[in-house]
């Protein structure tokens, strides 16, 4: 976990990263159509101390910003998801590569982390509320992107995604890392 968190510190220590992420979120919120009545209906009578009840309350709700059919708003959400998938994937990638070399018990630690992530309910409820569901598949997508880029090139090339906001992979590039490698060449 420490390796993963230190990697996040590296990511957000980039001079542009924090401001860029804040801009992505602000842009999403500024263009949102807030569905307060839907939220209010779901929250009435809910036991907020129960993470499972919270997850159930937001399940199928869509999100706090309403069901957006606006392609621009969906693009804003995809940009945030791509940033998050890249950040989490890179954190997992570094943790895995360094952890395997440093810790003989890394496989057991990795297994425990996977079980922990599968069981998170309260975080999922918040993500659903905001319309930014970061499904485990998206975290895996970020991790697979990092593995493929490192396998097809090297760790230094992979780390270039943190050179600037323009260097981050888009959602299509996360799905097909050779697109990102071609763009970065």
DSSP letter assigned to residue 108: H
CB proximity list for 7: less than 8 A, separation 6 or greater: 90, 91, 94, 95
User: Above 80 in pLDDT, residue 37?
Assistant: no
Residue 175: both structure tokens together: 């799905």
Q: How many other CB atoms are found less than 10 A from the CB of residue 155?
A: 12
pLDDT digit string, tens, across residues 46-96: 666 666 665 665 554 445 554 556 788 889 988 999 999 999 899 888 888
Residue-level pLDDT at 167? 97
pTM for this prediction: 0.71
Residues 106-141: tens digit of each pLDDT: 677 777 766 666 665 445 555 555 544 556 777 789
Mean pLDDT, residues 9-19 taken together: 91
What letter does residue 61 receive in the DSSP assignment? Answer: S
Question: What percent of the chain clears pLDDT 90, i.e. is strictly above it?
Answer: 36
Q: What is the structure's pLDDT at 61?
A: 46
Q: Provide the domain limits for residue 28.
A: 2-184
Total domains, the chain: 1
């Amino acid at each position: 976990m420490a390796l993963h968190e230190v990697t996040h510190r590296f990511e957000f220590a980039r001079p542009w990263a924090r401001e860029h992420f804040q801009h992505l979120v602000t842009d999403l919120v500024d263009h949102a159509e807030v569905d307060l009545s839907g939220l209010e209906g779901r929250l009435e009578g809910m036991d907020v101390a129960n993470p499972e009840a919270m997850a159930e309350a937001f399940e199928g709700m869509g999100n706090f910003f309403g069901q957006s059919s606006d392609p621009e708003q969906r693009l804003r959400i995809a940009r945030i998801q791509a940033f998050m998938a890249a950040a989490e994937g890179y954190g997992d990638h570094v943790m895995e590569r360094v952890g395997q070399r440093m810790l003989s018990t890394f496989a057991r630690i990795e297994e425990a982390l996977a079980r922990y992530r599968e069981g998170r309910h309260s975080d999922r409820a918040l993500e659903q509320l905001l319309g930014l569901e970061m499904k485990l598949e998206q975290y895996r997508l970020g991790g697979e992107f990092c593995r493929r880029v490192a396998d097809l090139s090297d760790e230094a090339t992979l780390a270039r995604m943190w050179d600037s906001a323009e260097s981050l992979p888009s959602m299509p590039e996360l799905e097909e890392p050779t697109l990102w490698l071609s763009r970065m060449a």
